[in-house]
Amino acid sequence: MKPRGGQAGGAPRIRRHYRAEGEVQGVGFRWTARRLAEECGVCGLAENAYDGTVRLVAEGRPEEVRRFVMLLGMQFPEADIAESGPEERARGLEGFEIR
């Protein structure tokens, strides 16, 4: 998968930041995020934060990013996944990195 920033299939790609709280460390959350991101055509990253949360960055078409977050929430219903910043233009990330 090599989506890049800008236009993909006629739709502008966006970048969104999320913070996941709750039971999200030590339960395969980041690995599941990567699998779902790949299925949804989303690029980005997931990394553990020192406060026990997981930081997510997702780039893709708006509907791809929404689907990714929805599916991740369905896989981890105990997690609270919330936006943590404004929508931005995609920066051209490739793949989905786990940190």
Q: Which residues are catalytic?
A: 30, 48
Q: Are 64 and 42 in contact (CB under 8 A)?
A: yes
Residues 6+ positions from 50 with CB-CB distance below 8 Å? none
Which two tokens mark 13? 């790609």
Q: Are 8 and 99 in contact (CB under 8 A)?
A: no
Residue 18 β-bridge partners: 56, 83
